Amino acid sequence: MSETIGFIGTGMMGEPMARNLLRAGYAVKVYNRTRDKARALASDGASLVQTPAEVAAPNGIVITMLANDQAVEETAFGADGFGPALRGGIHVSMSTIAPATAERLAAKHREHGGRYVAAPVFGRPDAAAAKKLWICTSGERTFKERVRPVLDALGQGIIDFGEKPGAANVIKLSGNYLILAATQAMAEAFTLAEKNGIARTAVADFFGKTLFACPIYQAYGKFVAEENYDPPRFRLALGLKDISLVLDTAKASEVPMPVASLLQQRMLSAVAKGRGHLDWSAIALLVSEDAGLE
């Protein structure tokens, strides 16, 4: 590949994604706020730069995989942001952010002659490493077509949701809400079984093979049944951010989501108990505690 891709954010998800781009033959310029966390990619051939602006080139492609809306906006249009340098290029935002933020970024890029494609992902770090991510996209068709080969190097499938910049982020937030709701439901069911003398793992195994034979119930069911929350696949503190974005979007859309409100309070309680560093499925610990189990 002759094209150079700018990549910003080399955390648990970003590092394996950037490495897959290198393996696909792309030249990759990497910026990470904590430079040491990106050094492993340098040994694989990535070029490390000092500022977000340095990853961008006119008519180029820059991917962001960052923790929150503020980080994405700052790297794009804050001090030394890459947005003004992109001129004719495309910002591919793969972070979980608010649809309203996506709309704002798309407008700002247009002002500077660039374009914006939303491409949030479903999948844990192991899926990112194995190129098994599911990628949701939205934005202008021409620019989605241009970045498709790049996204093909990162995932097992690309599902498009139209030209509205924030549409893919609505899907991403909806999916995270469903995962969290399923986790809470499994925690309650498994705890009910445990208090009646039935092994949590037996319940998870049964339902994962029968009524709920699907990846979320199988994977998260195992985590919750075995109470396996460390190391995290996705930190609970970030899950709280996401469910809060769900509720913000619901409010703006005039959609009551009472279950999401409950989940936000459960996540807030877990963070207040010092569990923000654990996997987000650790909200199940609150169910056990409420039932009098250690």
Q: Which residues touch 225 (CB under 8 Å, ≥6 apart)?
A: 186, 190, 200, 201, 203, 204, 205
Backbone φ and ψ for 93, nearest 5 degrees, come out as: -95, 115
Q: Which residues touch 288 (CB under 8 Å, ≥6 apart)?
A: 187, 191, 194, 227, 294
3-state secondary structure 70-94: HHHHHHHHCCCCCHHHHCCCEEEEC
Report the run of H or E that residue 29 belongs to, with start and end.
strand 27-31
Task: Please identify which of the residues 131, 172, 195, 222 carries the catalytic annotation.
Answer: 172
Closest alpha carbon to 15 in 66, 89, 72: 66
**Residue 54 DSSP symbol:** G
- Residue 162 CB neighbours (<10 A): 12
Contact 177, 263 (CB under 8 A): yes
Active site residue 172: yes
- Helices 167-195 and 236-253, packing angle to 10 deg: 120
Q: State the catalytic residues.
A: 172
